[in-house]
Amino acid sequence: MSDAAQPTAAEVRAAAEAVKTALDRHLAAVERRTGDDDPAVYEAFNELAAAAEVYDELLYDRYDEVTPFEIPGAEDSLPPYAGPEEPNALSVLIRRDYAVAEPQRLLAQAERVEAAEYDGAAGADTQASGTVHGALGLLFGEFEPDEIASRHKEFGLEEGDSTLWVLAAEEQAEPGEWLEAPFEQLDPQRVVCRFDVSSVFDDLDDTDDLDDTADLDDTADEDLDADLEDGEDEDLEPLDTDRVDR
């Protein structure tokens, strides 16, 4: 990060004060809570986590230092389930992010779809395949999202993070009821389960694998040292110095 983009000392100090304030509010909410699922505690928890994350980032950017705080992931921050015990309906919310890695491949695929749609007729009224946003509209209108997910490389796309949430409901919504704002009334306490995919998890797994490998190497070295020190180890045979293979 350049010096011009670095936060000031005053900004870091203000972020630290925000953490202190959030701590006081969280403690007060816990002391006043009315039950295990008190929404005030949940809100104060999220505010504290957000303040701590901002402070951690500013502290690192300004002083190249970190805090001992571990900010829970999105899945860990969900409140306890408070939906119906026997749901009669459910909603499945899916988000998949992509990068347009190869625009020319994307445009070529859209041109094929458009040509097939108009039977190859020249001078069609719509040439949506000529722009990236038009090509995306054509492809997502032609193929199911799951098919695009499985064939994303063919369409010049690169996968990013994705998540799937399953929410329980008492009854199914009326037709057209939520179409104008499909994600506006999401209630975290009705989330039955969620599944997240992100490269950040791969990085964590790789780090764990490296740590495990290091532990195994250390153990193997200790075992070898013990074997060398123990002259009576039955697993080690003495070297036959009288025999020479030619």
Query: Per-residue pLDDT tens for 63-78?
Result: 999 888 766 554 455 6
Q: How confident is the model at residue 238 (pLDDT cuts 50, 70, 90)?
A: very low
What integer is the mean pLDDT of 155-182? Answer: 92
Residues above pLDDT 90, as percent of the chain:
44
User: Domain segments of the chain: what residues?
Assistant: 3-63, 89-196, 198-231
55 exposure class (CB count in 10 Å sphere: 0-12, 13-18, 19+): buried
- Sheet with 157-169: strands ordered across: 89-100, 157-169, 191-197
- What's the full length of the chain, in residues? 246
* Tens digit of each residue's pLDDT (9 = 90 or more) over 108-147: 999 998 888 776 555 445 566 689 999 999 999 999 999 9
Predicted confidence at residue 220, as pLDDT, reads 54
Predicted confidence at residue 141, as pLDDT, reads 92
Q: Which region among 36-40, 55-59, 142-146 has the lowest average model confidence (pLDDT)?
A: 36-40
Closest CA to 197 of 154, 163, 150, 245: 163
What integer is the mean pLDDT of 184-199? Answer: 85
Above 50 in pLDDT, residue 239? no
Closest CA to 105 of 128, 135, 127, 133: 135
Predicted confidence at residue 187, as pLDDT, reads 85
Cβ-proximal residues to 25 (8 Å cutoff; 6+ apart), any chain: 44, 47, 48
- The CA-CA-CA angle for residues 181, 186, 192, to 5°, reads 140
Q: Rounded mean pLDDT of the chain?
A: 80
Predicted confidence at residue 43, as pLDDT, reads 87
Predicted confidence at residue 193, as pLDDT, reads 87
Q: Which residues pair with 98 in a beta bridge?
A: 159
What integer is the mean pLDDT of 24-37? Answer: 89
Q: Which residue has the higher pLDDT, 41 or 126?
A: 41
* Tens digit of each residue's pLDDT (9 = 90 or more) over 192-215: 888 888 888 775 555 555 555 555
What integer is the mean pLDDT of 94-119? Answer: 90
